[in-house]
Structure 1
Amino acid sequence: MLQGAGVVSLSGISTGAYATGIEPFRQVVTRYAIRPNPAAPWPAGLRLRIAVLTDIHACDPWMSLERIAGIVAATNALQADLVVLVGDFMVGQRYVTRIIPAAEWAPVLGGLAAPLGVHAVLGNHDWWEDPDALRRGGGPTASGTELTRNGIRVLSNEAVPLATRAGPVWLAGLEDQLALLPVRRRTGRGRLGLHDLAATLKAVPDGAPMILLAHEPDIFAQVPARVALTLSGHTHGGQVRLFGWSPVVPSRYPGRYAYGHVRERSDLVISGGLGLSIAPIRLGVPPEIVVVELGAEAVA
């Protein structure tokens, strides 16, 4: 019995050491090949390679400036047509040795490059860690200001056309769905988020191909079939994922929008992200750069 207990104890210690000391610093590239739903307009023959970065949570020692620079280099090496950043650049936990301010991490991300540009939306922690923006109940935020200053277009309930060889493809970006949650908890009133899906979609001409960026995936339950692809983060894949199951998922639909490719009326990809939130642990869901080949033959 003592020998068995010892084995179990050592196993638990080794797993914990891996989950805090190794997996959070790993980095993988996860690829999806998606043919848009027939209900979504998409130019015949057009194939876009999209690199997706999300949930960086800049801080020492978990996501240092040097590590962010390595992510930028790895992303550029993928030669994507488009690079998108889907929010949560700011730290999301207390177990850090230094919070890295936006004025330091944004210039590093400014090294990202792609023919169709580099675009971003904000996440909940970009609001929650910005007391001035919370007090105002609106922007500008430190994250948004510094990203813009370093050449990255930040979309807030708006859309822009991308000039592809097959004509314009619209990129729409939704403002965060939980932006004002700390204020609401404190006062008991007011809005939860600053998102406006109807206004965001209205900015795209009828019948035009469209990609949507939304930090939290829950909005996908309301996304119409005309959107070819929605890209999200936020969940970190549960940050602990065992045999395809995550015990804790920050979503109203934890069994529905936890991680990976989801097809309903249209297509959603939820990235497991790169950094850490709440606790410094990752197990079964290593930090990832996501690459989506949109317009490609779907993977069986």
Structure 2
Amino acid sequence: MLVMKRTKVLLLLLIILFAFYSLIVEPNFAIIVVAVEVKLKNLPGDFNGYRIVHLSDTHFGEFHLKLRDDLVLSKVKEIKPDLIVFTGDIVSSKHSVEEAVDFIKKLASIAKVFIVLGNWDYSSGASKILLHKLCSLENVVVLVNNYAVVSRGKSSLYVVGVDDPYTRRSNLSKALENIPQNSTKILLAHSPQIIGEATGKVDLVLAGHTHGGQVVVPFVDPLFVPLPARYKKYVHGLFLVNGTYMYVNRGLGTSILPIRFFAPPEIAVIVLKKSGS
């Protein structure tokens, strides 16, 4: 009888600890900075060592502590990036647009910000007002199936952005129109499933959407990855797919359930290197 009571107490404590860690600690305090070096053959020499901060999936409107946003801004400022990119799912609610725009405005005071939208930005009903407000910000560029030129020294590269592939809004052919074939192209897309049509057309893909699984049981595949079956392997990290690199970011926020477990929120620092340097 005593053993059973102790077992129940221990089980209750474990449940409380799991809830506290997954709801409060990991989503808000366990933000990690991941440095990723990507070597590109045709990278202009002027861009050797170029640092891109890659953020994704903040999901403003889902439960989180404001401290999370302050920590992210502080860490990004310390990194001193050359460029910041944001690969969608900015909000989960149209009522949180102002909060999200204020956060991005602060990011834009650190470095120029390039943004694409994700499925939640649309399903929340926030896309129109979000686009309007983001496009009015200084030092912020929203890419919707188009591109922008980034210059450094006497060289340039192309930042290409497609609308959300998960909801079939992407048009990569349109986005790549008029870009010189041999130029360096970095593609921003919310969902990694864009890799199916991006290989051989761009040098690097930066994506999010998966949350790294969000809830991961050690030594077991993530419980849920919102991707078509053939793309479920692209949960998190750097991949080389038929000559094209892709980095999938775990993102910063949560969706459906306001918890993270063994899938800490991340800030990725993509360091471009010229192959052979």
Higher helix share: 2
Q: Which moved more, 1:264-273 or 1:251-260?
A: 251-260
SS at match of 1:198: helix
SS at match of 1:110: helix
Distance 1:254 1:226 in 2: 18
Give yes or no for the alignment of 1:110 onto 2:105: yes
Distance 1:8 1:166 in 2: 63
SS at match of 1:163: strand
Distance 1:217 1:264 in 2: 11
In the alignment, what sits opposite 1:53? 55
In the alignment, what sits opposite 2:135? 148
Scaled by the length of structure 2, the TM-score of the pair is 0.87
Distance 1:196 1:243 in 2: 37
In the alignment, what sits opposite 1:213? 188
Deviation by residue 1:119-149 (Cα, 9 ceiling, x = unmatched): 1001111111117x6xxxxxxx222111111
In the alignment, what sits opposite 2:15? 12
Distance 1:247 1:11 in 2: 20
Gaps of 5+ in 2: none
Kindly indicate whether the alpha-carbon contact (under 8 Å) linking 1:217 and 1:232 is maintained by their aligned counterparts in 2.
Answer: yes
Select 1:178's aligned residue among 160, 163, 166: 166
- The aligned amino acid for 1:85 is F
In the alignment, what sits opposite 1:95? none
Deviation by residue 1:44-65 (Cα, 9 ceiling, x = unmatched): 462211101111111364154x
Distance 2:130 2:56 in 1: 13
Q: Which moved more, 1:102-111 or 1:161-170?
A: 102-111
In the alignment, what sits opposite 1:34? 38
In the comparison of the two structures, how many residue pairs are matched?
A: 267
Q: 1:207–1:198: structure 2 CA closer, same or farther, 3 Å change rule? A: same
Kindly indicate whether the alpha-carbon contact (under 8 Å) linking 1:57 and 1:63 is maintained by their aligned counterparts in 2.
Answer: no
Deviation by residue 1:160-212 (Cα, 9 ceiling, x = unmatched): 11002351100000011234xxxxxxxxxxxxx22101111224211110100
Deviation by residue 1:96-133 (Cα, 9 ceiling, x = unmatched): xxx743233213311224787211001111111117x6
Scaled by the length of structure 1, the TM-score of the pair is 0.80
Gaps of 5+ in 1: 93-98, 134-140, 180-192
Q: 1:130–1:293: structure 2 CA closer, same or farther, 3 Å change rule? A: same
CA RMSD of aligned residues (A): 2.5
Post-superposition offset of 1:229:
1.0
